[in-house]
Structure formats: C-alpha cells, structure tokens
Amino acid sequence: MVLLRLIDDFLASIGRSVLALCGAVGHLVMFGAITISHILRPPFYPRELGIQLLRIGYFSLPVVGLTALFTGGALALQIYSGGARFNAESVVPSIVAIGMVRELGPVLGGLMVAGRVSASIAAEIGTMRVTEQIDALTTLSTNPFKYLVVPRVLAATLSLPLLVAVGDIIGIFGGYLVGVGRLEFSSAAYIHNTVDFLEAGDVISGLVKAAAFGFIVALMGCYHGYNSGRGAQGVGQATTNAVVTASILILATNYLLTEVFFSA
C-alpha cells in the first residue's frame, strides 16, 4: 500500500507539472498573439517607440560590440589551431566570417541583449504592476498593451538586426586583427578570402534570426513583468524568469531557424 501511494503521488506530481507547463505555454501564446494584434492597430505611440529604440538598441551597442570583437578574435585563434592539424590554416578568414554571420553574431547578440533588456523590461513593468501604475493606465483609458508592451516589442524586433549587423562587422574585424597581427596572415589575402566565401544568404539568415530573437527578448520581459507577483520578491522572480526563458527560447529558435535555412 505504501509503495502504491508513493507511485500515485509521483505520477500525480508529474501530471501537475505537465498541466502547469501547458497552461503557462498557452498563456504565453495568448500574450504574444494579443501583442501582435495590437501592433497592427491604432493608436500608435511613436514617442514611446523612439525612447525604446534608444534604450534597447543604441545603449546595447557597446556590450554587443565588445562581445563580438573578442569572440571574433578567439574564433580565429581556435580555427587556426584546429586547422593546423590538417594543414588548413587558410580557412580561418572564411570560417570566421561565416561563423560570425550565421551563428555567433545573432546568438551571442541575442543572449547579451536578453541579459540586459529582458531583465530591465521585466523589472520596469513588474514595478509598475506592483505599484498599480498599470491599473492607473487602464483607469485613464490607455491600453497597457499599446502603451507598454507594443513599443518595447517593436523596438527590440527592429533594433536587434541592426545591432547584430554591426556586431558581425566588429566580430569579423576582430578576427582580422588576430589573423593579421597574431597569425601573420596577409591583410589583402585575409580580406579577399572573407569577401569571396561570404554569401548574401548567410547575412540574410543571420538578420532574420536577430529579428526573431529581438521579438523573443522583449516579449519575455513584457510577459513576466506584466504578470509579476506582488512585492520585491515577485519583481525579482519575474526578472530572473524573463532572462532564463528568453535565453532558452533564443537557443531553441536558433536551431529551428537553422533547420529552415540550412537543412538542405
């Protein structure tokens, strides 16, 4: 009897976890669908959109740029070290460029922005929820989705591809600095190999990924902040959940988009 009760409790806990997960996923999907529907309908708040473009895009440029610079340099060193085993050191420029543009640029840019922006959005909106400012907006006949969620989601979706494009350039430049200064590549040969092997499809796939990651980053911050619990502990938990879920969804979405673009 005791064994049967333990098995029953174990299966019940699994069932509760699965139901809770399904409920959370459904709630998130509904939140995203409502957000997208409000993006397409007036009223619009261009001033709020401009402010969020500045906060999310421009102020994230230093961290994305530094991350890309050191990643490009480290990637060049690693590829050179690995390629030397097969006398393939000449592939360093092309692999650095392709790796940065296809994968490392969008993914690392998305993760860095998730750590900075998702946490900030969740904390800001969560604090507004705790202090009842969101209820005040509703009382003043202002839709919280239109005023708070839509500008942030739209700004992140538009600005992250630009951030990733700049990060790609900086990352390739970081590989160039290491290749020419440390690995003794010819400057002209390095640039020539980079340009010859990089295709438009590589760049486009990376920018599409970046736009998807920007949407995820802002949506997770808004969702967890909007549904934040009461008190400082609730806001802190919402901030943590926003960063964690955004990071996981970025990695999962990256795999799915890679399958779409490069499965053939």
pLDDT above 90 coverage of the chain, percent: 35
Residue 199 pLDDT greater than 90, yes or no: no
Tell me the residue type at 104.
L
Rounded to an integer, the average pLDDT of 55-75 is 91
pLDDT per position as a tens digit, 124-174 = 898 888 888 887 888 887 888 888 889 999 999 999 999 999 999 999 999
Name residue 179's amino acid: G
228-241 tens-digit pLDDT: 877 778 888 889 98
- pLDDT one-digit tens code per residue, 92-116: 888 888 889 999 999 999 999 998 8
Give the residue among 239, 246, 245 at the shortest CA–CA distance from 225. 239
pTM over 0.85: yes
**pLDDT at 264 exceeding the cut of 70:** no
b/e sequence 25-36, b meaning 16+ C-beta within 10 Å = eeebeebbeebe
Q: What is the pLDDT of residue 94?
A: 86
